Amino acid sequence: MILILLTLLLFMSGSVVELKSGFIGEDVLLPCICSNDPDELIWQNGNVIVNGYSKDEIIIDAFYKDRTQLFLNNEKGNCSLLLLNITLKDEGVYTCHLIVSVSPRVSKTTKLKVNLTVSENASTRDYWNKPIREESATAVSISVPILVVAGLLAIVLLVLLLRRRHRRNNDTYVPAQNKIPEEV
């Protein structure tokens, strides 16, 4: 039972896409934590290459040329992408592809996704068009699996208590009636 719950928790936490939001004309940081020195790092928006690092040449799409910055050379373990002067066209799901060599013929690939929403300037927006804050999206992605596991544990506990109560009711002692033997 515990194995099923742990598997459910792992499945749910692995399916989360991080949410980021920004405003037209501002810069936004798309997070990606990586190992100390990946062999290859590629950021994509759909099939379009936004930026990357590789031993081979990476062709960056003209739309993103001179509008992106990687932190890999400056900070080990930080493969985040800084997207400068964002527009509505920048909105979408970005994927951070990390490739690390485990041995000469074996490599490990990791994909991290970030969903970017772009809005007009904050001063012109009304309350209802506010994008979801990153903190609330993270809180939801953490609290939902916890609530599911807590709910399942509560159901299991309730079933165990009901079984125990049912057994007690069936096992109650009923004293035998005292019969006086009849003389013959």
Q: What is the CATH number of the domain that holds 95?
A: 2.60.40.10
* pLDDT tens profile 152-166: 888 998 898 888 888
Domain count, the chain: 1
Residue 36 domain flag: yes
Residue 161 domain flag: no
* pLDDT tens profile 90-100: 999 999 998 88
| DSSP 8-class letter at 23 | E
Whole-model pTM: value is: 0.57
CA atoms within 13 A on the CB side of 176: 3
Say how far apart CA 34 and CA 80 lie, in whole Å: 9
Residue 164 domain flag: no
Contacts of 146 (CB under 8 A, 6+ apart): none
Residue 75 domain flag: yes
**Residue 80 parent element (H or E):** none
Lowest pLDDT segment from 73-82, 117-126, 135-144, 152-161? 135-144
Residue 63 domain flag: yes
The percentage of residues in the chain with a pLDDT greater than 70, rounded to a whole number, is 70
Residue 146 domain flag: no
> Is residue 34 a contact partner of residue 79, using CB atoms and an 8 Å limit?
yes
What range does the domain containing 28 cover?
18-133
Query: What is the tally of helices (H) and strands (E) in the chain?
Result: 2, 8
What does the pLDDT read at residue 14? 42
Say how far apart CA 93 and CA 142 lie, in whole Å: 20
What does the pLDDT read at residue 169? 75
Residue 122 domain flag: yes
Residue 26 domain flag: yes
What is the band of 7 on the pLDDT scale with cuts at 50, 70, 90?
very low
